[in-house]
Chain A
Amino acid sequence: MDSLKTQQVTFKVFRFNEETDYLPYYNTYTLDVTHEEVVLDILNRIKWDHDGSLSYRRSCRHGICGVCAIKTNGKAVLACKTRLFDLIDIFGNEITIEPLSTKRAIKDLIIDKKDFWDKHAQAKPYLEADIDEHPAQENLVSPHDAEKLLEADYCIQCGACHYSCPSLEINEQYMGPAAFAAAYRFSADVRDDASIERLHIVNEEAQGVWDCVKCMECAEVCPKEVNPIEKITKLHNMIFEAAVAKNNVATRHAVGFAHSIEKHGLLDEGELVRYSEGNIGVLKHVPVALKMFAKGKIVLPWNMPKSDKLDEIKKLVKSSSTVKF
């Protein structure tokens, strides 16, 4: 493949004009692409050589401004950073080019990103601190403290993760991976005073971190290796450490694992559901549980299997626990 200098690719490009079109449609272009061309080069060639009305966002052309994010065969990419030959390796020679979110399209590949910016703002993506207006010296952050921000600082707000997140697609209140990465970025900053306030925001049901389905797509898709799901895990930890955690089904679900492991080594699946939901909430699971029971899928408490060398596990749970609930 590397020895090939050009390849013929068929592009199906999403077209839609909010002002004139009732439904979107696709235009097809077959082009020879070279091994050094990125998706943005192709969009430019289509616009300059074939159809000047094709609309898309681009600015820096260096993977920095974040405006050129689109989807190719469902994979969100920065158009200016993604080589066609790499896409051909994954998908073959037919590439469908769409906006990050087709339902938010304004014109062709340009979307209304308002929900992204609103949620980003909701995370308070700035430092809140009492500033001495006439400081005697610089406000220094040690390298050790700066490292705690991990890669959260690299985010260019491109929206690739946000518009690939399945939770957000279904639950419109969910703040999404980029907003959480920002919440972590500022809450982990030693100069910031609003950490607890932010933790309360991301701890809210429906909008907060508990609605993450842990699909890992945000880590996969991010072009800047921000790894938002890792930051989401950190926020979970901070919520417990700062005692911001409420006593609800989501928190009990996480804590329940520790209880169960201490008792059996293994997870007691039935008890986890009962503990998480509470004695009343658990009732809604009874119909499915009965069906499972009939098929030999429910282990009764007195038959609960245990890990060998359970004493080791009990000892480690006692000695290695770092938080309380």
Chain B
Amino acid sequence: MEKLKYALFTGCTAKESTPEQMMSTLAVANKLGIELVELTEASCCGASHLQDYDDFLSLVLNARNIAYAEKHGLTMVTICNTCQLNTAMTKHRLDNNAELKAKVNAKLAEVGLEYKGTSQITHFLYAIIDDFGLDKIKEMVVKPLSQFNIAPFYGCHNIRPSELQNATHKSPENAYNPTSLDDLIIACGGANVDYAEKNKCCGFHAELQSPRTAAVLTGNAVAGAMDANADWMVTPCPLCHLKLDTQTHHASVAIGREVSLPVLHMQQMVGLALGCTPAELGLSHHVTKVDFI
């Protein structure tokens, strides 16, 4: 197989509050022989909030990020669900609206850039599943996660709206019964846990303006995983991770029940199965202690 190569859009979180996400992404890519060219010029995608204030500015900034991936002639890989949604949504809107694309390009021209629409945008989870292949992951597993019940937490912005999301990867995902992360858990030798909240919202985006709603959603998600006998949770999104890992106190108060589980990034789970060390995966950067290694 030809060596896989992508343009990596890290997003902000990987550079700030989830350093372990950046570490584990690089460690896993290294193990799998995937080359990641980091888009160091990229800006924040606006995290689904900038567009509420200034939709056009959000489009211009996201188009600029994609234009840098296009310059490399590479598919853009994201490691954050919200980055994925915002970037893919921008691409979808520009590719289907010539007038809007021209308006955005008029701005990009001021800095010598152009959005063409030539790069695909996919989340690292689907790059692993579609391009690398679960069978090959299975073969490479040296430390199967066989003693663990693992609860997949998909995160809204990787599965909804499914029409947009499914256009960015090959394996079809149904928003009401997603399977990709379950399949990855199984490929890593773990047992996947089924629970009602696995495709629900963690509340992250309303944390400041609607703290109770956000805390109840987090509490419900962790409680659902605990009740299904999960040993830990895994997510492809650093924002879900932040919410589930650092906000368990508020969540417990909100739902009137003590809830807490270790939460791993998808990359950390794969890394563990492939034999990366806890230090390489940044497991010490979690607020809820990863106590099972």
Contacts and interface: CB of A to CB of B under 8 A. Distances in A.
B41 interface: yes
Contact of A307 (B40, B175, B214, B286): B40
A322 B15 contact: no
Interface string B45-82: 01111111111110011001000000000000000000
B44 A213 contact: no
Contacts of A214: 48, 156-157, 201, 205-206
B17 interface: yes
A305 B286 CA distance: 21
Interface in A291-316: 291-292, 295-299, 305, 307-309, 312-313, 315-316
B54 A213 contact: no
Interface string A228-250: 00000100110010000000111
A258 B57 contact: yes
A240 B162 CA distance: 29
B40 to A, nearest CB: 4
B36 to A, nearest CB: 16
Nearest to A91: B177
Given A216-B161, A217-B160, A307-B42, A211 B52 contact: no
B30 interface: no
Interface string B232-255: 000000000000001101100000
B107 interface: yes
Interface in B102-134: 107-108, 110-111, 113
A267 B110 contact: no
B50 A215 contact: no
A261 interface: yes
Interface residues of B, number: 65
Contacts, number: 204
A315 B44 contact: no
A170 B212 contact: yes
Nearest to A225: B163
A167 interface: yes
Nearest to B17: A297
B160 A320 contact: no
A319 B16 contact: no
Contact of B284 (A249, A258, A295): A295
Given A74-B196, A217-B156, A257-B46, A249 B208 contact: yes
| Most B C-beta atoms less than 10 A away, residue of A206, A319, A320, A323 | A320
B52 A261 contact: no
A90 interface: yes
Contact of B60 (A74, A273, A308, A316): A316
Contacts of A176: none
Contact of A213 (B64, B85, B217, B247): B217
A320 B107 CA distance: 7
Given A74-B196, A213-B201, A217-B201, A171 B49 contact: no
A308 B54 contact: no
A71 to B, nearest CB: 10
Interface in A201-228: 205-206, 210-217, 219-220, 227
A299 B204 CA distance: 20
B277 interface: no
B53 A307 contact: no
Given A90-B174, A171-B210, A267 B111 contact: no
Contact of B17 (A210, A292, A313): A292
Contacts of A298: 16-17
A293 B14 CA distance: 15
B29 interface: no
Given A219-B160, A257-B53, A298-B17, A213 B284 contact: no
Most chain A CB within 10 A, of B40, B160, B212, is at B160
A151 interface: no
B212 A171 contact: yes
Contacts of B41: 307-309, 312
B174 to A, nearest CB: 5
B160 A213 contact: no
A257 B49 contact: yes
B53 A325 contact: yes
B52 A305 contact: no
A212 B49 CA distance: 11
B281 to A, nearest CB: 14
Nearest 6 pairs of A and B residues by beta carbon: A216-B160, A236-B52, A215-B201, A250-B209, A257-B50, A254-B53
Given A215-B201, A291-B246, A305-B15, 18 more contacts: A170-B217, A171-B212, A211-B210, A214-B48, A214-B206, A216-B85, A240-B53, A265-B44, A267-B47, A269-B16, A288-B249, A292-B246, A297-B19, A305-B16, A316-B57, A316-B107, A322-B54, A323-B53
23 contacts: A73-B177, A166-B203, A170-B217, A211-B213, A213-B201, A213-B203, A213-B217, A214-B48, A233-B55, A237-B53, A240-B54, A250-B208, A254-B52, A261-B44, A266-B12, A273-B208, A295-B287, A307-B43, A315-B110, A316-B110, A320-B107, A323-B53, A325-B53
